[in-house]
A and B are shown apart, each in its own frame.
Chain A
């Protein structure tokens, strides 16, 4: 807003001096400053945003999620501040995008970075506290052939003196009633009334109704009542408040020392800082918990034989695959673009439309269809095109590599065709004509005039196509699944696996997921792709300067 424009209407002589553009700008400013609808809209949207943020942060704080809660508050405050102040136009435009970038990109990247330095994976899924809880739950063995006890849960009656302590009242097979609590082993009592094998009343106690059981369920399911003074006799526990069973515990947890002791063999499992309880013989108790492991995952990625062998091989193939994919699709796309850009070509529009079709189908679908067409015995390619030959398109290590490149060519050339057509049309025809006047043959004119101009415009796209194909998981997964495997190699990596599909196998295939190692690999991939992109961009800048 400049001081020269005013809303009260310029003086006549001034208005003559204003250019058309200035008048237009004035009108826009008037419109915005007078647009009470816009202001109302702004207030409503920001109000909704703040209301949501206040609600969300309250919920988060009540769940003791301090970090996330504060982030929500800070984020909402920042957004409100940005939109309520004057000016700061760039921030106003960028803020929504930035929010999504932070949530969906930066956070994911930082989180993978964090995971790469932990042992997160199967068996190391949560905190130590959860692991201890789970081990204790999972290793309470029901005493074989022990009886099922009908249990009633009691509380001392009387309003003033009573404690909150809970009691179990159970009936034995002989119809005798026993009462016990956490610190008081089961004792015989004869002051109970039994109906249908279940205690319904005891002198001095009150039986908790079912609804009350549900309200105090954690207390009840955590209650263990010793069978007798002898700890080896086991204890009673109930999971549903109706039936109690006799259990013994396989492990005893010593909280002060942080050790698990096997109650039968006496083996001590200690927390040695490896994220699990480990005995002196090296036996591990699972579940363990998540810990920071520093650079371990990165060291494993490059030193462990079973990983290093395939890693080198897979890295080479990934580079070859990405590079060849870009080259083949670009060459074909460019060729077609040049052909269909020629004015002598009739009905170019329709041909172009057809050319774009492979791009319009979902890639994974095309990959599946190709997998079917490349079936050795029943596939369209062998049956129809090669007259029934048995060419192992997807099951021979080398042919599978070629097949994957062919399919990627099919999937990728329309994109290159599109961008090349666009770039070609932006190059003035006069340049070619001038070259031809100077006596250059058509190919020469193309090679030394159009191609360099094209490359300057398309280099960034080629680099991004390389980065995309470097991580082209869909195609590999859908077409070959990484296979064929060399079964004598002894590793679960096939001859068409690229780095990202190998990472997928490490992280998600089978029942031994290793998210830490997979994240370390992802970071390595990020570094590789990042370095190449940076180098290539520098190089293309040099190209730009040449022209």
Chain B
């Protein structure tokens, strides 16, 4: 046995070594192949002829919904320029943090899809580069460009505008309300169990959905610079309008109109069952209501105070990596392909949100009543602040709204306390 074993060992060793040698050969073979490619490339570069081929590849991070449209645009881009576009599908919610951590390692993409309110994080971390839209800037809706501007620079090509609006059950109420009180009155007269629903979290209320009412009392979060960008040093949330809004919140909480036990799912369920006359929500809840057979009309958000009830707009777009080695190709792809009416309209068709390019925006609005309803509100909306200081605002905002709606103290004191806390956290 011992002789056998040594023999065996020898065979194993020989085989092992040959395997190693083989793989090593494989390795060098691959290397040689790569080298040949390189030489071919440099030879190609040397030729000053018309059939000169561009080399390189663009990497684009895109979510599943957008991928098909982008694939068409990428195919066009490749046939026009010879540069391949490698589309990598990512979960939309993951892209921001992945982008921030991958770009410094050199593993990040050249372009990624995202929402404008990420800009604070992207820019403060130095991972996004400005995109010069030049004259094309005027071709986009104002709110879209404002949203994608940060510190005087535009950081991406916007493609869609998303905002909330008032859904009305047209079988119950046949006219759009002019004011909040009128809406409640119309809702009550309609006989529905709930005149008006809006989804609120039991812990965090929902500052995003309640913002139009806050705006109607003249209490924006931050002041705005001349160019429309937010100035985080000018915190306006605690002004007089804010106090009025706090009082209003408390009154609506007492009256049962605002109820922190009705969360987003319950609110949309109530509306879909025909038990609510009005619902304040975004386009994401429309398909289920239509499926349930509700005749949905989209109205402007009625004002609760004496000013316009402007909601936040979220603008989606594509942005450029600061570490991209293909800036020229990437910018061309962004401005001339993603910024084209064809792609913008195609993106609208898969996403159902109003396009950011004015030309596509107009055609989408004339094409669909629901989109038109949201689009008209969105065109007047204010971009959600993207400054990093907004994080501190979110931390305190919702919890205080909950406390006020549930009557856990004097509304104005609670609101002022919140403004102080936000101020402290920002500093």
Contact = CB atoms under 8 A, between A and B. Distances in A.
A375 interface: yes
Interface string B122-161: 0111110111101100000000000000011100000000
Contacts of A377: 259, 261-262
Contact of B81 (A50, A126, A210, A239): A210
Contact of A137 (B48, B50, B130, B202): B130
B204 A481 contact: yes
Interface string B114-126: 0000001101111
Given A134-B127, A148-B135, A487 B332 contact: no
A534 to B, nearest CB: 34
A512 B422 CA distance: 14
Interface string A36-55: 00010011001100110011
Given A218-B325, A240-B332, A483-B204, A138 B153 contact: yes
Interface in B37-78: 45, 48, 50, 52-56
Nearest to B125: A125
A141 B152 contact: yes
B363 interface: no
A243 B30 CA distance: 41
A126 B126 contact: yes
Given A134-B322, A375-B261, A33 B4 contact: yes
B170 interface: no
B5 interface: yes
B126 A125 contact: yes
B211 interface: no
Given A46-B19, A125-B100, A487-B399, A138 B259 contact: no
B13 interface: yes
A123 B124 CA distance: 5
A218 B121 contact: no
A105 interface: no
A286 B124 contact: yes
B27 A51 contact: yes
B126 A135 contact: yes
Contacts of A378: 261-262, 266
B1 A6 contact: yes
A217 B332 CA distance: 11
Contacts of B396: 487, 492
Most central of A5, A58, A512, A513 by chain B CB within 10 Å? A512
A195 to B, nearest CB: 18
B2 interface: yes
Interface secondary structure of B, over-half rule? helix
Interface string A209-251: 1111111011011000000000000000011111101000000
Contact of B203 (A86, A137, A218, A483): A483
Given A134-B322, A212-B52, A1 B1 contact: yes
Contacts of A221: 327-328, 331
Interface string A47-84: 10011001100100001000000000000000010001
A240 B153 CA distance: 17
Contacts of B4: 7, 33
Nearest to A286: B124
Given A130-B126, A138-B126, A484-B402, 6 more contacts: A46-B19, A50-B19, A214-B82, A218-B325, A287-B124, A512-B391
Interface of B: 1-2, 4-5, 8-9, 11-13, 15-16, 19-20, 22-24, 26-27, 30-31, 45, 48, 50, 52-56, 81-83, 97, 100-101, 103-104, 106, 120-121, 123-127, 129-132, 134-135, 151-153, 202-204, 259-263, 266, 322-323, 325-329, 331-332, 335-336, 388, 390-392, 394-396, 399-400, 402-403, 406, 408-409, 414, 417-418, 420-421, 424
